[in-house]
Structure 1
Amino acid sequence: MDGRGGRRQHFTGGPAYELTEDSPVYVISVAAQLSGLHPQTLRQYDRLGLVSPDRTPGRGRRYSARDIDLLREVQRLSQDEGINLAGIKRIIELEQQVAALQSRVAELQQAVEGAAVAMQQREAQVHASYRRDLVPYEDVHSSSALVVWRPKRGGNR
């Protein structure tokens, strides 16, 4: 997307490539500049599993904007918070688990809401099928009155 909300056009005038924050577009030298880290540091973080960029068919690393943000966060946690790399890796793993669980909770909430709507619709169908000629029953044991009903026979009486 360009800054005005339009799509970027490929230089041939063909369809645009949709770039997202997960699009692997930055080579290691550019990612190093953008993150303020040395390329060797990026390689070390990759080996340790802190940041795992995509790979080209030739095994070259390609970093996304999300990877750059993560590199910056690793640097901040290391430099400003004094957390070692093993601790940072655990923090990243836990944040990913939390994100996955939040996503799952959202899915389950949607499923529950859908089930509630379906139940209300089914309940409405059942209520609509009730016979209208039925009358409510009163418990006769609460009163001492006796009611006898006899059907009329052919109009004689």
Structure 2
Amino acid sequence: MNIDVPNDLLELLFLRSAWGLDARRDLPPCDPAPDPGASQRPAWLGIESVWERMWDQATSDEGASHTSEGANFWGLQHGTAGIDLDALRHWKAVARRPVTDAQRNFGLSPERRNAEALRTAERRGLRRIILLPVIGSYREVRQRSLILSTTMYLDRASLTGALDEYQAS
């Protein structure tokens, strides 16, 4: 089971916020909200549709295999013009912190506290949990993956509910 806060998705979330993109309206705003620094939206048409295509690719069940190769990174595909890389790096570290802190405490980690529900979901085909630093409770169920807000992951009842929902899919 892979439980991760993928770098490519963090980059895309940062850009959506920093550039004020009108993309994926169903996806809540970032939590914490990134400081865009000197980031400025590039002036090219169709940027939202390109962002959404990259998001869909990165969050697909097949997306995990592309992530390590950099196929889903905006900066590698389209360059870093308009991206304050220091602000991006800082926000990524801050956004990951609640998850890494929780996982460090092995005995009380969300995986440990929800071990039975995780095992059951794995038996039913769950292979990946994608964690997103967005406001509130957010959940998407895919064929072999769950996409959850950090808030849901850190809350035992919410994580159990999401795993149970996956089991029913």
Higher relative contact order (CA 8 A, sep 6+): 2
Larger radius of gyration: 1
**TM-score after normalising by structure 1:** 0.26
Greater strand share, structure number: 2
**TM-score after normalising by structure 2:** 0.24
